[in-house]
């Protein structure tokens, strides 16, 4: 049994609900900003630009955003990556109509001159070449995914699976296609090079292959008492870091 602290999908949803409930009063936007910021930091830690040639610095970070909040984390991450000196490009094939907020995140990307591919972009794979792409950020589905995967995401994830041995994939919170509690029990499912668990790792993270996948926790937004109430200790983040490598 792994010593990793994990919380079930049910508990993760309860934690989110309480954080955004009337007593604590975080907004989704606040948590998503910190979540996306953490993922951008994990990309920097894993793929530092320092000592890279100009050609390598120009490589794309290809962010694929899904229709829910996991996708929102990806949109925020892309904006921070641009500020950190990376060259992000966003593919957002099914845009959320849930709230105005998602449109605002896209406007912000336009403001930062981060390309957002059109929804019906057929040539998105052209942007995914090992010589042109530093890594892929998988912000397609997080803890609310329920198989079987529907289109257009099934075809997209199948293509990513073919590429993942050549271009490293950074998965946000849950590798896309994995059951949040039981791991990769259905196909297609991504096998990430990096997993960034948010707030606290979900049980699926115990199914990553330790030698293959670097595991970070991010989303540094809960105090000790609150973590203890949900049965875990806070993570030992250093200084102002938003991520911790586990």
Ligand X SMILES: NC(=O)C1=CN([C@@H]2O[C@H](COP(=O)(O)OP(=O)(O)OC[C@H]3O[C@@H](n4cnc5c(N)ncnc54)[C@H](OP(=O)(O)O)[C@@H]3O)[C@@H](O)[C@H]2O)[C@H](O)CC1
The residues of the shown chain that bind K ion, judged by CB under 5 A, are 138, 171-172, 176
* Cα distance between residue 4 and residue 7, in whole Å: 10
Binding partner at 32 among K ion, ligand X, none, C-beta below 5 to 8 Å by kind: ligand X
Task: Please check whether residue 177 is in contact with residue 189, taking contact to mean a CB–CB distance below 8 angstroms.
Answer: yes
> Does residue 205 touch ligand X according to CB under 6 A?
no
Any binding-site annotation on 123? no
> Does residue 150 touch ligand X according to CB under 6 A?
yes
> Of 61-69, 77-85, 157-165, 231-239, which segment contacts ligand X by CB under 6 A?
61-69
Q: In whole angstroms, how close is the CB of 67 to ligand X at the nearest point?
A: 4
Site size with ligand X, rule: CB under 6 A: 30
Q: In whole angstroms, how close is the CB of 44 to K ion at the nearest point?
A: 19
> Does residue 153 touch ligand X according to CB under 6 A?
yes
* Cα distance between residue 90 and residue 172, in whole Å: 15
Coil/strand/helix, residue 10 = helix
Partners of 196 in the beta sheet?
172, 216
Which of 194, 178, 153 has its CA nearest to residue 61? 194
> Does residue 62 touch ligand X according to CB under 6 A?
no
Whole-Å CA distances, 18 to 22, 53, 227: 8, 46, 12
> Does residue 142 touch ligand X according to CB under 6 A?
yes
What residues numbered 63-122 form the site for ligand X, per CB under 6 A? 66-73
């Amino acid at each position: 049994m792994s010593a990793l602290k994990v919380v079930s999908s049910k508990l993760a949803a309860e934690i989110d609900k309480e954080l955004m409930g009337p007593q604590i009063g975080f907004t989704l936007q606040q948590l998503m900003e910190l979540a996306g910021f953490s993922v951008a930091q994990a990309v920097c830690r894993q793929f530092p630009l320092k000592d890279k040639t100009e050609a390598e610095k120009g490589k794309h970070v290809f962010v694929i955003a899904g229709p829910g909040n996991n996708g929102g984390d990806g949109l925020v991450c892309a904006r921070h990556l641009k500020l950190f000196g990376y060259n992000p490009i966003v593919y957002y094939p099914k845009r959320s109509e849930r709230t105005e907020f998602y449109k605002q995140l896209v406007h912000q990307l336009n403001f930062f001159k981060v390309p957002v591919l059109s929804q019906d972009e057929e040539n998105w794979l052209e942007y995914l070449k090992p010589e042109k792409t530093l890594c892929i950020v998988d912000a397609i589905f997080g803890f609310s995914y329920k198989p079987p995967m529907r289109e257009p995401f099934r075809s997209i994830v199948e293509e990513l699976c073919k590429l993942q041995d050549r271009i490293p994939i950074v998965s946000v919170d849950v590798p896309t296609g994995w059951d949040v509690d039981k791991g990769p029990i259905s196909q297609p499912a991504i096998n990430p090079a990096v997993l960034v668990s948010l707030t606290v790792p979900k049980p699926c993270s115990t199914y990553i292959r330790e030698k293959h996948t670097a595991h970070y926790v991010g989303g540094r937004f809960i105090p000790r008492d609150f973590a203890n109430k949900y049965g875990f200790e806070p993570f030992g983040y250093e200084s102002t870091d938003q991520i911790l490598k586990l």
